[in-house]
Amino acid sequence: MLRTLINQRLGRYTITELLGRGGMAAVYRATDTVLQRDVALKVLYPQYSDDQSLVERFTREAVTAAALEHPHIVPVYDVGEHEGMAYIAMKLLSGETLQDHLQRVGAIGPDELCRLLAPVADALDYAHSRGVIHRDIKPGNIFLCQTPSGAAQVMLTDFGIAKRLDAPGLTTTGALIGTPDYMAPEQIAGRPVDARTDVYALGMLAYRALTGRRAFDGSTQDVLMGHLYRQPPLPSAVAPGLPAALDPVLLRAVASDANSRFPSAGAFVRALGDTAAAASPAPDLPMAAYALGAPPPGINSAPTMVNPAIQIAPPPPPPQITSAPLAKTHTTIGSTGRQIVSASPR
């Protein structure tokens, strides 16, 4: 693991606080001594710095993320190496993740979910239009924060395992990259991925947020087999208060066959919102705002609010794979390994 870096310099950055650790990297709060601003600095662990292929991938992923300029994608400021330690400098966010919010409240209603997912879908459609697939959509990578002016903002984070569609060689053969609860069948089986892979993950995220339950329970292997061979239980059966009209929308998003899914993240969220509105003529209880609780580990910030005014943006048989046990590594931050299964909090 990393030696103590607090108060140390990495190039132009002075590290001030550890924000979190992942399987391949740690994230620090740091001060950019040139521009005089705080940043989130992701630093690759030293034990991986000797593997040039990993360092190159770490850098390549930073370049991929830096090319995405969207109001709901966390910007990458800089990438570099100092005394053998590779790092990526990103915008420092203040707030909490959707994962933290769901752990506190259990489940949320369709209207609230659509308000939160609309900016995420817009960000994904933008990335997809530029040939970039996220591959790790999950509640922990959706950040609920506020701008310096106090405006609410939803941000999509961690394009650390993003894949360019025009760069097929980025992932080592046989690699499994992502978070089991949200991985599409083609991702698990090592088949080509595209925008519909992220749609599947967004559908699984919506299932979790609306029902308060994961679609598949059990060990990592059980969960992966569920994605490959089973259909999730009907959402309205898991959460009886949920309108049954939402069932076909959610199940289409997580169809095993990518051709049966919604063609884009935006199309899915719009269908979800339209169906929820038709199924519930009376609006939800007003959500003037909900207070975000204590910041998650590694986030030093005051509670913030999410504004309900966020609007929805306008717009085969299962594969045969072996069931050998999979390696399981915590990789919430810095997902850059050869065989990686991210086991984030559920």
> Over the range 298-309, which residues count as b (16 or more CB within 10 Å of their CB) and which as e?
bbebeebbbbbe
242 or 304: which leads in pLDDT: 242
CA 305 – CA 293 distance, rounded (Å)? 9
Please tell me which of 2-6, 41-45, 325-329 the model is most confident about, judged by mean pLDDT. Answer: 41-45
In single-letter form, the type of residue at position 78 comes to D
Task: Verify whether residue 136 is a known catalytic residue.
Answer: yes
pLDDT at 286 over 70: no
pLDDT of residue 46: 87
Which of the pair, 6 or 304, is modelled with greater confidence?
A: 6
Cβ atoms of 333 and 159 closer than 8 Å: no
The pLDDT of residue 303 is 30
Query: Over 37-89, what HEC string results?
Result: EEEEEEEECHHHHCCHHHHHHHHHHHHHHHCCCCCCECCEEEEEEECCEEEEE
Task: Label residues 51-75 b or e (16+ Cβ within 10 Å = b).
Answer: eeebbebbbbbbebbbebebebbbe
- The number of C-alpha atoms within 13 Å of 244 and in the hemisphere containing its C-beta is 1
**pTM, whole model, 2 decimals?**
0.76
- Give the pLDDT of residue 18: 94
pLDDT for 13 beyond 70: yes
- Summarised one tens digit per residue, pLDDT across range 106-148 is 999 999 999 999 999 999 999 999 999 999 999 999 999 987 7
- Rounded Cα distance, 292 and 145, in Å: 9
* Choice among 125, 136, 158, 181 that is catalytic: 136
Asked if 128 and 164 touch (Cβ cutoff 8 Å), the reply is no
Sheet holding 85-91, edge to edge: 9-10, 13-21, 25-32, 37-44, 85-91, 76-82
- C-alpha neighbours within 13 Å on the C-beta side of residue 83: 8
pLDDT band at 161 (very low <50, low <70, confident <90, very high): low
| pLDDT recorded at residue 207 | 99
Per-residue pLDDT tens digits for 198-209: 999 999 999 999
**Distance between CA 265 and CA 201 in Å, rounded?**
10
